[in-house]
Structures are given as C-alpha cells and as structure tokens.
C-alpha cells in the first residue's frame, strides 16, 4: 500500500515535470528569433559582403541557435538601396549596410559612415563609443523606426579610378563619377558630376561610359569588382574615407521585443565583426596592390596641392550641411570637439 502511494506520487510528480518541461520548451520556441537580413552588398564581395554573411554564421553559434539572421543577396528581398525603408517599415527585420547610403533621407547619418579628412579607425571608434557619438546615432535612427548596431569597420579606402591621369584639379572638371557620401559633395565643388551607385552597378556603368571614373573601396575589394579592366589610374590616399563604419539595422519594434540576452548576443557578434573586419582589411591590401600593379594599373598619390584644395572644399561642405540640418550640426560639433581633445593624445602618443 505504501509502495503504491509512493509510485503514484512519483508518477504525478513526473507528469507535472513533463508538463512544465513542455511549457518551457514552448515558451523557448516562441522566443527564438528567425529573421531575414537584407544587404546593400553581394555576399561574395570581399569584406563588405562577407562581413554580413559572417553575422549570419556567428549569431547562430553565439546564441546556440536561438537567434538566426539569414543573409539575403541584394535584390532578393528588396533592392540594395531600399533596405532602409524596408527595415523601418518592418517588411524586413534587419539589413547590413553603411549609414552613409541614406544621405537623401537622413543627412546626419553620413557622419557615422565616413568623414572626409576624418579620423582613423581608433579615433573614430573612440568618439563613437566614448565621445558621445553613439547617443546621437541612436537618437537619429530611433526617430526613423530603426535601432542600429555598428557591425563592421574598414581602414582607408582608395580615392578613385580614372581613365586618364589627373594632374590638377582642372582635370576633374566635367567628369561623371560614382562617389559615396560626403566626399561626393566635395567632388561636386571640383566640378565633378557625381552619382551614387550600388557596388554591382558600377562596373557596367564604367565600361559603357555612363561614368568616367569611380571610387568604391579598398584595393582588395576594388580588385574583386574588376575596375582595373576599364580604368588604369588608381589614386590614393582615400581622403574621403580614412575609415568606414558599417551597421546592422534592425526594426526598432523587433529590437525592443528581444530579451536583454538576445540584444547582448547581437551586439557581441557585431563588436567581434568590427575586430575581424579591421584586422582582415589591413592584412589583404598589400597583396591586392601588388596584383593590380602586375595587371598594369598605375598607382598614384595625390599631390599635396590637390589634397589641400579638396580639404578646403570639405570645410565649406561641412559648414553648409551643418547649417541645413540640426542633427548634422549636433553630430559634427560633437565629432569636432572630440577630435580637438583627442589631438592632445595623438600628438604625443603616436609616431608621425
């Protein structure tokens, strides 16, 4: 009789545990994240695309499968340059891009992508994370229904491919050129007609003569896109992008619905993506430059007088943008103030 009661009690306890276990499993299943990720870069593109695909792979590992963010090629969900609206509206949960692509919608975001004659990678990250940049960044994106996490970084870019050698600023006048971000406004002051094209659209435009020149990224990335086949003059340094940040945009309502742990996991993966992208980018450029030279590309360094002219034009552009947009002014003043303070450390801490 006693044994029967013990067995009965054990069965009830086991059944209760089973029910609780099923409930916990169901709750866990409801909390699992299965998102789609749009992209402005094809997955095969060195760094810009591979960093996006790395988020896909790493978040699955870090979360133990609790979070899956599936990468989709540009155009598979929405066109490359329409992912901002898609994420804001919630038709796509996330997208990998760079804030500078959204100049036409939110001019101030350009300052969180790349700044002409701006900071190197270390200084840029210092301002963003510890100098007030992130707080402004979050406020700007949140007003547009997006929470964004910085998720990649690359060091200096090249400043352009040209069919003909550029010997003076006068040689720039009348050119049609693909150019990104705030640097495009500087080039317009040089008499260049600029347009923003997604990476996959640049080569055909250059080949067909729709544009006369282009900038896009670093040597290892530009080599992959084949610009050397139609333009043989390659210019440095990338005065317009001494460092470039990339972000993972998330629909804000979706982000807010995540647990703190899930948010931290995404932030951890993106933080590691910054480390990976920066280190990889620095490691693969010299090999790419060697290969480009072997393919007959002429590597040029801008003379100081041209750089001085470009920098003077940038000062004008920055003032105009700040006067036209309050958020741009706020972010620009924050960055400028930080750089003035940082110079105290830079001048004594680093070799020149």
According to CATH, where is 3.40.190.170 located in the chain? 33-112+122-154+244-282
Kindly report the pTM of this predicted structure: 0.88
pLDDT value at residue 199: 85
* Helix runs in the chain, H state only: 2-31, 50-62, 83-89, 121-130, 133-142, 181-189, 199-208, 219-225, 252-257, 260-294, 304-324, 326-349
296 SS3 class: coil
Higher confidence at residue 284 or residue 198?
Answer: 284
Cα 56 from chain centroid (whole Å): 15
Q: Which fold has domain 33-112+122-154+244-282?
A: D-Maltodextrin-Binding Protein; domain 2 (3.40.190)
Confidence of residue 3 (pLDDT cuts 50, 70, 90): very low
Assess whether pLDDT exceeds 50 at residue 260: yes
74-127 pLDDT, tens digit per residue, is 999 999 999 999 999 999 999 999 999 999 999 999 999 999 999 999 999 999
Assess whether pLDDT exceeds 50 at residue 316: yes
Task: Determine which helix (DSSP H) or strand (DSSP E) holds 342, and give its type and residue range.
Answer: helix 326-349
51-81 pLDDT, tens digit per residue, is 999 999 999 999 999 999 999 999 999 999 9
Assess whether pLDDT exceeds 90 at residue 26: no
Architecture per CATH, domain 160-242+285-346, reads as 3-Layer(aba) Sandwich (3.40)
Asked whether 220 and 50 are in contact (CB, 8 A), the reply is: no
Confidence of residue 185 (pLDDT cuts 50, 70, 90): very high
Give the whole-angstrom CA distance, residue 333 versus residue 336. 5
pLDDT value at residue 200: 86
Crossing angle of helices 133-142 and 326-349, in 10° steps, is 160
According to CATH, where is 3.40.190.10 located in the chain? 160-242+285-346
């Amino acid at each position: 009789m006693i044994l029967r009661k013990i067995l009965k009690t054990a069965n009830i306890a086991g059944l209760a545990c089973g029910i609780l276990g099923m409930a916990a499993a169901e709750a866990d299943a409801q909390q699992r994240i299965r998102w789609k990720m749009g992209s402005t870069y094809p997955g095969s593109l060195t760094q810009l695309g591979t960093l996006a695909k790395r988020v896909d792979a790493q978040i699955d590992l870090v979360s133990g499968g609790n979070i899956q963010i599936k990468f989709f090629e540009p155009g598979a969900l929405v066109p490359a340059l329409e992912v901002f609206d898609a994420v804001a509206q919630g038709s796509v949960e996330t997208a990998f891009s760079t804030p500078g692509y959204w100049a036409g919608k939110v001019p101030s975001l350009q300052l969180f992508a790349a700044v002409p004659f701006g900071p190197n990678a270390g200084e840029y990250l210092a301002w963003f994370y510890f100098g007030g940049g992130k707080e402004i960044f979050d406020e700007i994106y949140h007003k547009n229904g997006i929470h964004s996490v910085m998720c990649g970084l690359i060091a200096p870019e090249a400043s352009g491919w040209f069919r003909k050698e550029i010997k003076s600023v006068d040689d720039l006048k009348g050119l049609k050129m693909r150019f990104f971000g705030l640097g495009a406004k500087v080039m317009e002051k040089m008499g260049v007609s600029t347009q923003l094209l997604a990476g996959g659209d640049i080569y055909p435009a250059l080949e067909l003569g729709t544009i006369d020149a282009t900038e896009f990224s670093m040597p290892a990335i530009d080599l992959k896109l084949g610009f050397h086949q139609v333009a043989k003059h390659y210019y440095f340094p990338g005065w317009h992008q001494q460092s470039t940040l990339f972000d993972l945009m998330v629909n804000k309502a979706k982000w807010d619905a995540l647990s703190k742990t899930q948010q931290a996991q995404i932030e951890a993966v993106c933080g590691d993506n910054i480390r990976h992208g920066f280190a990889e980018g620095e490691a693969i450029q010299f090999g790419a430059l060697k290969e480009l030279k072997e393919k007959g590309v002429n590597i040029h360094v801008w003379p100081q007088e041209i750089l001085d002219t470009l920098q003077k034009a940038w000062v004008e552009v920055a003032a105009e943008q700040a006067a036209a947009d309050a958020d741009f002014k706020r972010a620009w003043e924050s960055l400028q103030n930080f750089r003035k303070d940082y110079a105290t450390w830079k001048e004594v801490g680093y070799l020149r």
